[in-house]
Structure 1
Amino acid sequence: MRQEDLWRLAWRSLTRRPVRTLLTALGLTVAVASMTVFLSLGEGLRQAFRSELESVGPDVQVSRSALSLGLLPSPTLPPGTAAALLRLAPELGIARVTPVAISLRQSLDPAQSAVFYGLPADQGVQALFAGVRAARGRLLVPSDRDRAVAVLGARSARNLGLGVGDELWLSRRASARVVGILAPQNSLTDTFTFLPLGTVQRAFGAGDRLSLVAVKLRRPEEAQRVAGLLSRRLGLEASTRSDVLRFVERLLGSSDAAGLGLSLVSLLVGGLTVVNTVTMGVVERTREFGTLRALGARPAFLRALVLTESLLLALLGGGAGVLLGLVGAWGVNLYTQNLAGIDAAAVTPRLAGLSVGVSLLLGLLAGLLPARAAGRLTVSGALRRP
């Protein structure tokens, strides 16, 4: 029998019980869709971070804490670090040194969370985030040094409900006047609030301490070598953009593993429904299989037929699961675009292929026992059954 005839026969067998087939495929669809949505979060965040780090940020970032403790470290760096880097500038080809102090405000309502990013007013926001421009008001200028003024990202301004001239409360005792709101860029800067360095240090009791020092090199291709020299000479953590990307990859890899683990429960349930449906089909067609054996069908043909039915169910559930996962990722992106201006989920061709592949593997495993049972039927034993 030709392969297409086998698939056609398997399809006819499944459509004999359309409700059962539909419910089985639906269960597998939900399982595959949940896995697709979980893993799409990792794919989307990879793309977002890669895009951000390739276009903005320093060539080398010097901090006291390792990347594993966070991408936005708290102010623990000695104040003399920036001066030490300036002294090394002629030797290492350092073009600019930008001290940064960061404070995070976390809230149960994500829209009320904030990232306060303090940097020298005389360098301005463009020192680290090229291409930003003010949609309303202005950016930081040298005369803003030590003044309580703030420039809000577009999403941050909308989430906090603030405009130019409004008062932004940094803490219970400190506030700043909003002097500018950035034009939307669909990037992480949309969620930041930029202030003069001294303003952040005073508002959050950091003293003269820094979170990190951003280093711009005359020759960016030497970033890895310079980072190694800085780590040895200063005894601090010096990371390049590629180091940050590798850390993000490891972090998201762990997240993917956790998401896949959570999805295994629903995948297991979906696989059991396939086993149940195919097994019931074998039991209901025992006399039919006996007749086929009597007409000359070999046990291998019956095993292949049952496995094909199982794979067909898995293909239907997997394909529909990917489509449902696309809808779920779209819903996630609607939320994250509204909150932070980024697409946090992405169903890539690789992820879609993985989802369908897992579904087919599940279908194959689910069909092994029913196929074995069908292949062991004898003509006399099958025809004697009622």
Structure 2
Amino acid sequence: MRTRPLRAILSALGIGIGIAAMVAVVSIPASSQRALAEQLSALGTNLLTAAPGQTIMGDDAPLPMTAVPMIARIGPVTDVSATGSVETTVRRTDRIPEAETSGISVIAARTDLLAVLRGTLHKGRFLDQVTENFPTVVLGSVAATRLGIDRVGGKVWLGNRWFTVAGILDAMPLAPEIERAALIGAPAAAELGFDGHPTTVYVRATEAQVEDVRAVLAATINPEAPLEVKVSRPSEALAAKRLTETSFNALFLGLGGVALLVGGVGVANTMVISVLERRREIGLRRALGASRRQVRGQFLAESVLLSLLGGIVGVLVGVGVTAGYALTRDWPAVFPPAALLGGVGVAAVVGALAGAYPAMRAARLSPTEALA
């Protein structure tokens, strides 16, 4: 390996690429999962949402206006708030056609909504007991981008009048509908035709009793028709979404395996050629008393060392790729020990398999045949 460094590096390169791919494919999803766990831990996995379902006839079933106070009576419930859909549009100016809504909905929100959702403000302030009575609006992060609003104090055309932008929210992964909405106070929404019926109820419960609250939530909201209430847990949907995003991991692992196979073939080819080039050395060693076992061990050790070199380099490259990708996504970099140790172990196994035939071929050479 020392006398032919270029050949050794090129032989180990294929192994290194395969190991790097496998380490990265295992470590990147682990980093994503850790980031998701931290995000859910910060946002809280104890959030439940209730929305209107459908009647037996297939019509939309409105939630009762008493939904919030009824839910607040459930013992393990710690916080509850609600929003209601307002049948109007919001646009950048009154010159834009009413049909061009940019996918932004108008929602009547309670003043405690932000606290219940554990959301944060990017700029400005949220609705309070004073501003909810006036034409002020708080924009979700996506809504602000689509409207071209990047500061508070500006105005948007909402319904049939100008509303002043009081605040802009940060992203809210557990409530994506809020990100694409313009939030106004319930009294101001009533002037635009809001009937007071909530369309989404957000509930925070004690972590240990979330499932118990979930079981009785529909019956509490609408005792007469609990089947007309849909109850969900947004954190589960977010986790499922992230799992679907990692569905290509098997494909990437397959590609890494192919690269590893190609690297193993490269090492085997190198060792076969090495046996042919070193026939005189093999014959001389056999003539000086080396056994077949010793010759076989020599070439097998060389093959394993080549593969280990590629494995170590591959692990280092995989760690670097994972760390770089995690840094760009603001994730914690996670490296499962099984991936790191397994990468080196797999490289050693590939080297042993790739070097087995050349080693046995070298051991079968007789001293006279080799020296001739």
User: Do the two structures share a fold, i.e. TM-score over 0.5?
Assistant: yes
Per the alignment, in what secondary structure is the counterpart of residue 73 of structure 2?
helix
Matched residue, 1:26: 13
Cα distance in 1 between the residues matched to 2:269 and 2:371 = 23
Aligned residue in 2 for 1:120:
109
Quick check: 1:300 aligned with 2:288? Answer: no
Q: Is the 8 A contact 1:166 1:177 kept in 2?
A: yes
Aligned to 1:287: 280
Aligned positions, number? 327
Greater CA radius of gyration, 1 or 2? 2
2:366 to 366, 378, 384: 378
Contact 2:307 2:347 in 1 (8 A): yes
CA distance in 2, matches of 1:363, 1:313: 7
Q: Residues 137-177 of structure 1: CA distance to partner in whole angstroms, max 9, x if unpaired? A: 223435348967345669x97xx78333457899xxxx986
- In the alignment, which residue of structure 2 is the partner of 1:326? 319
Output aligned runs, 1:100-139, within 5 Å: 120-129=109-118, 132=120, 134=122, 136-139=123-126
Which of 16, 19, 24 aligns to 2:3? It is 16
- For residues 81 and 17 of structure 1, do their structure 2 counterparts lie closer, same or farther at Cα, with a shift above 3 Å needed? farther
CA, structure 1 residues 27+92, in 2 after alignment: closer, same or farther (shift >3 Å)? same
Q: Are the structure 2 counterparts of residues 359 and 290 from structure 1 closer, same or farther at C-alpha, using a change threshold of 3 Å?
A: same
SS at match of 1:293: helix
Q: 1:167 to 1:260 in 2, by over 3 A?
A: farther
Q: Is the 8 A contact 1:58 1:215 kept in 2?
A: no
Report the 3-state secondary structure (helix = DSSP H, G, I; strand = E; otherwise coil) of the residue aligned with 2:253: helix
State how far apart, in whole Å, the 2-side matches of 1:259 and 1:299 are.
41
Q: Residue 117 of structure 1 contacts residue 193 of structure 1 at CA under 8 Å; is this kept in 2? A: no
Q: 1:147 to 1:237 in 2, by over 3 A?
A: same
Higher helix share: 1
Normalising by structure 1, report the TM-score: 0.65
Equivalent residues of 2:265, 2:354 under 8 A apart = yes
- Alignment-mate amino acid for residue 207 of structure 2: P
Q: Is 1:365 matched with 2:348? A: no
% identical equivalent positions: 29
Classify the secondary structure of the residue corresponding to 1:15.
Answer: coil
Alignment RMSD: 4.7
Gaps of 5+ in 2: 52-59, 86-101, 190-194, 220-225
Describe the SS at the equivalent of 2:272. Answer: helix
User: Deviation at 1:368?
Assistant: 2.6
Structure 2 CA distance for aligned equivalents of residues 28 and 120 of structure 1: 58
Unmatched segments (≥5 aa) in structure 1: 1-13, 65-76, 103-112, 337-341
Shift of 1:99: 4.3
- Aligned partner of 1:74 in structure 2 is none
Q: 1:133 to 1:293 in 2, by over 3 A?
A: same
Q: TM-score, normalised by structure 2?
A: 0.67
Work out whether 1:276 is the aligned partner of 2:269: yes
Out of 82, 85, 97, the position equivalent to 2:80 is 97
Query: How much has 1:51 moved relative to structure 2?
Result: 0.1
